[in-house]
Amino acid sequence: MRKTNEVEQLIYLFSKLPGLGQRSSRRIVLHLLQEKEVRLKNLMDGLALAASKIQICEICRNIDSHNICHICTTSDRNKSIIAIVETVAELWAIERSGNFNGKYHVLGGALSASMKKSPDSLRLPQLLERCMNHGVTELIIATNATLEGQTTAYFITEYFRNYNLKISRLANGIPIGGELDYLDEGTLSLAIALRQPFD
């Protein structure tokens, strides 16, 4: 099979995206090339716009078109409570559940056994500073119910143990091994409502 370098390269780039393999990438690339002037152009424009506009929030690491995100900026949300999530995907999942009105701290991933993700990258000193100086009274640890997520939750609990903060985790009800982004909204909503204190 000989394709042009440009097509091969584009298929390769798509195949590196999460959930995509060779075949699905081939179909996507052909779909885009079939109506190049419309489909390829629209996607390029969308990517260019995102590349130029999207920033990472300096406070919570949500993504937004401002360097302080809309969740951190708004006065409509309860700033005394912070949900700690692994990535923006889980932030979105919690927002979809519609049952949380506090602020967030995005870790940027869980601690991994191979330590590709180091404790430093969790930015816990910055979170502590938010807690001390901005009236935060409660942390909800909303890491995934995976081994890495639970390890991370334990690490965070230890880190904040000696401060006067209520630390809770999502209620049982989340299946073991489950990932938040794959849960139905109802289960996740319930897990927030029934959240339990740590230890």
Query: Which span (51-59, 85-93, 153-161, 165-173) binds Zn ion, by CB under 5 A?
Result: 51-59
Query: Does residue 38 interact with its own copies by CB under 8 A?
Result: no
Query: Does residue 58 interact with its own copies by CB under 8 A?
Result: no
Query: Does residue 6 interact with its own copies by CB under 8 A?
Result: yes
| C-alpha of 43 from chain center | 23
Query: Does residue 59 interact with Zn ion by CB under 5 A?
Result: yes
Query: Which span (54-62, 76-84, 112-120, 124-132) binds Zn ion, by CB under 5 A?
Result: 54-62
- Order of all β-strands in the sheet with 138-141: 103-106, 81-85, 138-141, 166-169, 196-197
Binders of Zn ion among residues 100 to 119 (CB under 5 A) are none
Binding-site string for its own copies from residue 90 to residue 129, where x marks contact by CB under 8 A and - marks none: --x--xx---------------------------------
Query: Does residue 72 interact with Zn ion by CB under 5 A?
Result: yes
Binders of its own copies among residues 165 to 184 (CB under 8 A) are 181-182
Dist. CA 101–CA 89, nearest whole Å: 17
Amino acid at 45: D
Query: Does residue 91 interact with Zn ion by CB under 5 A?
Result: no
Question: Please, are residues 98 and 125 in contact by the beta-carbon 8 Å criterion?
Answer: no
Query: Does residue 49 interact with its own copies by CB under 8 A?
Result: yes
Q: Shortest gap between Cβ of 50 and its own copies (angstroms)?
A: 5
Tell me which H or E stretch contains 142: none
Q: What's the 3-state SS for 66-127?
A: CCCCHHHHCCCCCCCEEEEECCHHHHHHHHHHCCCCCEEEECCCCCCCCCCCCHHHHCHHHH
Task: Please choose, from the candidates 99, 78, 69, 94, the residue with its C-alpha nearest in 3D space to the C-alpha of residue 144.
Answer: 94
Whose Cβ is closer to its own copies: residue 94's or residue 167's? Answer: 94
Q: Report helix, strand or coil for 137.
A: coil
Whose Cβ is closer to its own copies: residue 163's or residue 175's? Answer: 175
Q: Which residues bind its own copies (CB under 8 A)?
A: 1-7, 9-10, 13-14, 17-20, 23-24, 26-34, 36, 40-44, 46-51, 53-54, 63-65, 70, 87-89, 92, 95-96, 181-182
